[in-house]
Amino acid sequence: MTHQLPFIDLQAQRQRLGDDLDTAIARVLEHGQFIMGPEVRALEAALAEFADVAEVVTCSSGTDALVMPLMARGVGPGDAVFVPAFTFVASAEAVALLGATPVFVDVAEASFNMDPQSLDDAIGSAREAGLRPACIMPVDLFGQPADYPSLSAIAAREGCWLLGDAAQSFGGSAGKARVGSLAQVTATSFFPAKPLGCYGDGGAILTDDADLAEVLRSIRVHGQGSHKYDTIRLGLNGRLDTMQAAILLEKLKLLDEEIEARERIAARYSHALADRVTVPSTPAQVQSAWAQYTIRHPARDRIAAELRGQGIPTALYYPAPLNRQLPYRDFPTAPGGLPVSEALAQSVLSLPLHPYLGAADQDRIIDGVRRAAAGHGRGEAANG
């Protein structure tokens, strides 16, 4: 009788959006401005208001949202950009594509996010190696904003700027400040599975820096100057499709409510699972966007296999730190190494969590995890 649960359920959200979504798409088909149509500007204004920032430049993906600010600030050969080792590959890829050096920093075990002490050490050793510390790229892993106050203090002291990789955290916040306003420049992604996702690829850059935004708007269209055939810098085709902007305008209306639903489910999971596995911990003032709900357990592979047998999918983000991936093996790492990233890669497991996950399915997931983990000891679980 066990049916297969989906890991995320985009159809439930689509039903919730109903006719509004179809109407928004039909409107774009009608006006026909598929590139940089009115919905793109409307979305940028809506995102700026939502995140309380002055400037939003939408773009073609979360990856381009990382590449474009690095291009705009002239990051290149000889520059060090500090990236956590435990993240999706796009964070480091953006840096390496521009000929700069990604320097891998370890993460803190409790938050999965960049460890300020490891960052401090990595900056010192990068300098000794003759690199110029240019940019710090914290990643808000699984939706939880990084420790921006500590990281910003280090950035200010070292003359670096902060580019937040908020691909997983849009909709989250720290205190009263929304993700998007926590770093000088923030990149986010609208990949379908992200907390605010479209029906294709998309991304955005958020900043209060109007000069930077102007350069980003030029980079977005091949380095365009005062008119279409005036080219003043290297650029990309980095635009967000009008159709995706129209879809995102509808989905943005639900985002706060969806984050609340994710929070309720996460709290329920944590309450029910904390004595069996290590559950995520979020500081009091921090609101995660809960892109993923990620537990830790030394027998995670066996737990995943047992859950699979019960029709409960899990996901493994990430099976290896980036310094173990082929194109990134020769880049520098923090002098203390990356012990936490290495350990997390062996013990993390993400459970299904989306805003439309019903109580019965939540119970089934909770029961499944409790039973699977019971067979394998409490292990490192240490929730205090």
Ligand X SMILES: *Cc1c(COP(=O)(O)O)cnc(C)c1O
Residue numbers of the site for ligand X (CB under 6 A)?
Answer: 61-63, 87-88, 90-91, 139, 165, 167-168, 189, 191, 201, 203
Closer to ligand X by CB, 69 or 368: give it: 69
Helix or strand holding residue 370 (H, E): helix 359-374
Shortest Å, Cβ 167 to ligand X: 3
**In the chain, beta strands by DSSP E:** 55-59, 79-84, 101-105, 132-136, 161-165, 173-174, 177-178, 185-189, 203-207, 286-287, 293-296, 348-351
Asked whether 137 and 73 are in contact (CB, 8 A), the reply is no
With respect to ligand X, which residue has the nearer C-beta, 164 or 298? 164
CB of 241 to ligand X, least distance (A): 13
Residue 210 structure tokens: 């109007």
CB of 62 to ligand X, least distance (A): 2
Listed in sequence order, the DSSP H helices in 32-87 are: 38-51, 62-72
Distance (Å, rounded) from C-alpha 274 to C-alpha 281?
10
**Closer residue to ligand X, CB minimum distance, 189 or 282:** 189
Sign of CA dihedral 34, 35, 36, 40: positive
Q: Give pairs for 304-310: CB < 8 Å, separation 24+.
A: 304/349, 306/368, 306/371, 306/372, 306/375, 307/368, 307/369, 307/372, 310/2, 310/364, 310/368
Q: How far is the CB of 363 from ligand X (least distance, A)?
A: 29
**Can you say how many angstroms the Cα of residue 118 is from the centroid of all Cα atoms in its chain?**
21
CA distance 316 to 28: 37
Q: CB within 8 A of 10, min separation 6: which ones?
A: 192, 193, 197
Long-range contacts of 232-238 (CB under 8 A, 24+ apart): 234/71, 235/71, 236/60, 236/64, 236/67, 236/68, 236/71, 237/60, 238/59, 238/60, 238/64, 238/68
What DSSP letter does each residue of 238-254 carry, written as one string? -PPBHHHHHHHHHHHHH
Q: In the bound complex, what is the minimum distance in angstroms from residue 216's beta carbon to ligand X? A: 16
Q: Tell me the residue nearest to ligand X as measured from the CB.
A: 62
Nearer to ligand X, 310 or 325 (CB): 325
- Two structure tokens written together for 72: 């705009």
287 versus 362: smaller Cβ distance to ligand X: 287
161 or 170: CB nearest ligand X: 170
In the bound state with ligand X, the residue whose beta carbon lies nearer, of 139 and 206, is 139
The minimum distance between CB 299 and ligand X, in angstroms, equals 26
> Of 79 and 201, which CB lies nearer to ligand X in the complex structure?
201
Whichever of 165 and 361 has its CB closer to ligand X, that residue is 165
Supply the minimum distance, in Å, between the C-beta of residue 148 and ligand X: 16
Please report how close the Cβ of residue 242 comes to ligand X at its closest, in angstroms: 18
Residue 376 Cβ vs ligand X, minimum distance, rounded to whole Å: 29
Nearer to ligand X, 124 or 192 (CB): 192
Q: What's the Cα-to-Cα distance from 234 to each of 49, 56, 67, 202, 225, rounded to whole Å?
A: 30, 21, 12, 21, 11
As measured in angstroms, the least distance from the Cβ of 179 to ligand X is 12
Query: Quick one: tokens of 49?
Result: 């208001």
